[in-house]
Chain A
Amino acid sequence: MQMPSPNPAILARKQALAARLLKVLPPDAVIQDEMETRAYECDALTAYKCPPLLAVLPRTTQEVSDILRICHEEGVPVVPRGAGTSLAGGALPTADCVILGVARMNEVLETDYENRIIRVQTGRTNLSVSGAVEEEDFFYAPDPSSQLACAIAGNIAMNSGGAHCLKYGVTTNNLMGVTMVMMDGTVVEIGGAHLDAGGLDLLGVICGSEGQLGVVTEATLRILRKPEGARPVLIGYDSNEVAGACVSDIIKAGVLPVAIEFMDRPCIEACEAFAKAGYPMCEALLIIEVEGSDEEIAHQLGVITEIARSHSPVELREAGDADEAGRIWLGRKSAFGAMGQINDYMCLDGTIPVSSLPFVLRRIGEMSKEFGLDVANVFHAGDGNMHPLILFDANKPGDLETCEAFGAEILKLCVEAGGCLTGEHGVGIEKRDLMLHQYSAEDLEAQLKVKDVFDPKWLLNPAKVFPLSVTEGRRSMALAAE
């Protein structure tokens, strides 16, 4: 993965820059020791590493503003970092950048049940936002699988989703306002506890901009009352086509389950070996969860199982109680762990139209043979977000490269099928060079024009999202202006 070569002029100014930052930050907030900056050399895409020039760990919006103003004046690139759980390399540093980590900004600023909002500093973890409102039976809906560790800042940067977004939406649908610091240090407030921030939907374009438009330090989030209950049903089929048709029929019947998870045979086998959840050995497994009171759950499951039966399942198992529900989810929730035990793996997250599911799975199977690497599929079937897991051996020379090439072909296939490169992980560096498969140069130019407005000097996370060749002119112009 190519990254821009570090600017020697910046590397030479390390001491001076650290000294300037120490004038506005306490000593423990500036990390300059080479051993310690290593902690920030990568995110969850661990195949790529590069220690930053410096890392800074501010505690307040004012400190973030001071840091950005100084870096702006010095012409130093800044890579914002939440909890460092990005699977796409969104927080990968360059050697000449300052990592701005918001992990110390984790306070709850306001909880307001009457208006159903919570305001937090963005270093707070996703799960602890729900934790802060749990005593009143409320929750924050987007639930990425890294929710124990990932920060709201990163959720906003990547517009994170989760298993329950068919009903509750993704981050952008639950974000009502932000305090954001622009690269020149200006602090802006957008939206708040009222609906639909006025004027152009800047909130909408900031969410998912991968830390390239500003650093969000505080967020107003929508919280919801927990449903009375939830229960899953497990349905096994002997073909992907039939499972796909079943999902489509359920949606057409007017039922909107809170989650529809899909696993293919390789995934079922791995999960079963790992978690022993008692899954049937079949080609395709659906886990469908509905919410409500007991009666409401029973009614919805009645509609779902009737449709499922009409497609002749090899297995249909309703959860009678919490214990059975837990067992149904056990295998699915351990899918990634199961894969990790077998091998190194790369997790993709292209999205496809649900109707293309059988075709895409068949092609992935064929490509798996061509590339000589196994692949297992977990899939949010309700919204078409696939998670093919390609298994490889990091210690075997060439395997990572083969895996990446295979991954790129799968993502191109997703685009050809009418979908997109990434449903919830973001582009980062991982999918940067595939962007021209989804968008024309003109389509990308429209996106670059947005960054020009927010960050004219192209200093915020500049080497991400877009192919380096596409952004080169802008990055080098900003450099020349120094």
Chain B
Amino acid sequence: MKMMTPQSEAELAEMIAGASGPLCIQGGGTRGLDVEGGVLSTRGLSGVELYEPGALTLVIKAGTPVAEVEALLAAENQRLAFEPMDCRGLLGTAGEPTIGGVIAVNVSGPRRIQTGAARDHLLGVRFVDGAGQAVKNGGRVMKNVTGYDLVKLMCGAHGTLGVLTEVSLKVLPQAEAMATVAVAGVGLSQAVAAMSAALGSPYDVTGAAYDPDSKTAFVRVEGFGASVNYRSGKLAAELADLGDTSITADGERLWQGIRDVSAFHGKDGDVWRISVKPSDAVILAPRLEAEALQFDWGGGLIWARVAEGTDLRARINVPGHATLVRARADTRSRLGVFQPQPGPLAAISEGLRRQFDPKGILNPGLMG
């Protein structure tokens, strides 16, 4: 079937209003979330609407490539602080990730523990719902409680409630300097203790990850040079009881690797992404019987690589949720990509989908 690539919100609205069968909503198509149906791509909706560096705001069309957004911001020494993951290496996909895709999936990197998720930086949206109606919610200012926050609802809805056409984002200054404190020779429980101590310190930690292969925990601080030196020094001293600490100034590649889970690239097996209370990671990790693990968010985000077809959710005995990020289509349809919700929440979610997508055509079945 031919891909639909509307060039305007009005054209997109017409296509959705006229659609009778399922639609696979796509930005750059790099996140491996394809559903059966005619592909509806937002890549024709591209370009900057407004960028005010002095107000930390960016309004941009949903199909704009993330690379363009990042280059635009970098020219003003600013960035998307929530550090969106590039999924291509992990999923073996090609194409250009779009900002709309990032927002639809609410994808956030290591800095999520300090600055919040994509949803915390989203100020406003325009979208077209499943009936073809264009809707605006939120705006371009940082504080806005005018009516219901559909901005958050759309972020992470994976296109099931509407197709994003434009997003307003809060952007933040790039850091002048960065340092990483490595705590080597630690097992998972010591690592979680070290990360917890770091995150509970006044030193404004912007990353806390653990690599079980090298038995090393990593703690990141960012900011002005002198301040980074001061805080990384303090952290290294305070964490010295827990393992061998060292400080490196250049951690760009390390944190990019953690963000993109590069340790799993090109390796076989299914990949799961599990969100739990950080201290529960210690209880949960041995139960997963994983081939490989990576820990981010102080232990609260676990990436697990397991044998194909494994139902990892059956092994999880702590509160949280697990997403099947990479697997064969039959496994995904058998286990479901997203954690099933308890009855009353599932009913609310289903009710919302029916309201916003009465024909049931927007990425049907993807979220339940």
Residues of A within 8 A of B (CB): 112-117, 137-138, 158-159, 161, 165-166, 169-170, 172-173, 182, 186, 188-190, 192-205, 207-209, 225-228, 247-249, 251-256, 292-293, 295-296, 299-300, 303, 351-355, 380, 382-385, 418-427, 431, 435, 438-440, 442-447, 449-454, 465-466
Contacts and interface: CB of A to CB of B under 8 A. Distances in A.
A422 B230 contact: no
A251 B55 contact: yes
Contacts of B108: 196
B55 A420 contact: no
B56 interface: yes
A142 to B, nearest CB: 11
Given A204-B153, A384-B143, A418-B141, A113 B172 contact: no
Contact of B148 (A190, A194, A208): A208
Interface stretch (B61-69, B256-264, B271-279): B271-279
Contacts of A442: 133-135
Given A193-B277, A195-B275, A158 B145 contact: yes
A186 B300 CA distance: 29
Contacts of B201: 225
Given A194-B276, A225-B201, A353 B140 contact: yes
A114 B197 CA distance: 7
A196 B275 contact: yes
A355 B120 contact: no
A353 B50 CA distance: 12
B301 A446 contact: no
B341 A186 contact: no
A463 B183 CA distance: 56
B173 A256 contact: yes
A204 B149 contact: yes
A101 B223 CA distance: 44
Interface size class of B (residues with CB under 8 A): 35 or more
A418 B139 CA distance: 8
B320 to A, nearest CB: 4
Interface string B178-196: 0000000000000000001
B55 A354 contact: yes
A201 B106 contact: yes
A453 B141 contact: no
A162 to B, nearest CB: 10
A227 B202 contact: yes
Given A115-B279, A351-B142, A418-B141, A208 B149 contact: yes
A57 B176 CA distance: 53
B227 interface: yes
Contacts of A438: 139, 146-147
Nearest to B321: A198
A8 to B, nearest CB: 31
A191 to B, nearest CB: 9
Interface of B: 52-57, 76-77, 106, 108, 112-113, 116-117, 119-120, 129, 133-137, 139-153, 155-157, 160-161, 172-176, 196, 199-202, 204, 223-224, 226-227, 230, 275-280, 297, 300-301, 319-321, 323, 338-339, 341-342, 344-345, 348-349, 351-352, 355-356, 367-368
B145 A194 contact: no
Contacts of B133: 442, 445-446
A196 B149 contact: no
A438 B143 CA distance: 15
B230 A423 contact: no
B135 A443 contact: yes
Contacts of A204: 119, 149, 151-153, 155
A248 B55 contact: yes
Contacts of B280: 194
Contacts of A254: 77, 173-176
B339 A251 contact: no
A353 B52 contact: yes
A286 B150 CA distance: 34
Contacts of B277: 115, 117, 192-194
Contacts of B275: 194-196, 198
Given A199-B367, A380-B143, A355 B54 contact: yes
Contacts of A427: 145-147
A424 B227 contact: no
Contacts of A296: 223-224, 226-227, 230
Contact of A201 (B119, B142, B202): B119
Contacts of A197: 321
Contacts of B338: 198-199
30 contacts: A112-B279, A137-B202, A158-B145, A166-B142, A172-B149, A192-B277, A192-B320, A196-B108, A199-B341, A200-B153, A201-B106, A201-B153, A201-B155, A205-B153, A208-B145, A208-B149, A225-B202, A254-B175, A293-B230, A303-B224, A354-B54, A384-B143, A427-B145, A427-B146, A439-B146, A443-B135, A443-B136, A446-B129, A447-B147, A449-B356
A453 B342 CA distance: 16
A218 to B, nearest CB: 14
A288 to B, nearest CB: 15
- In the A-B complex, the 5 residue pairs with the closest CB atoms: A204-B152, A248-B54, A198-B321, A423-B143, A254-B173
Contact of A200 (B53, B151, B349): B349
Given A188-B344, A383-B142, A431-B146, A195 B117 contact: yes
A195 B146 contact: no
B202 A352 contact: no
Contacts of B278: 114-115
A176 to B, nearest CB: 10
Nearest to A251: B54
A182 B344 contact: yes
Given A116-B200, A198-B275, A173 B116 contact: yes
Given A115-B196, A115-B278, A202-B348, A172 B202 contact: no
Nearest to B108: A196
B196 A207 contact: no
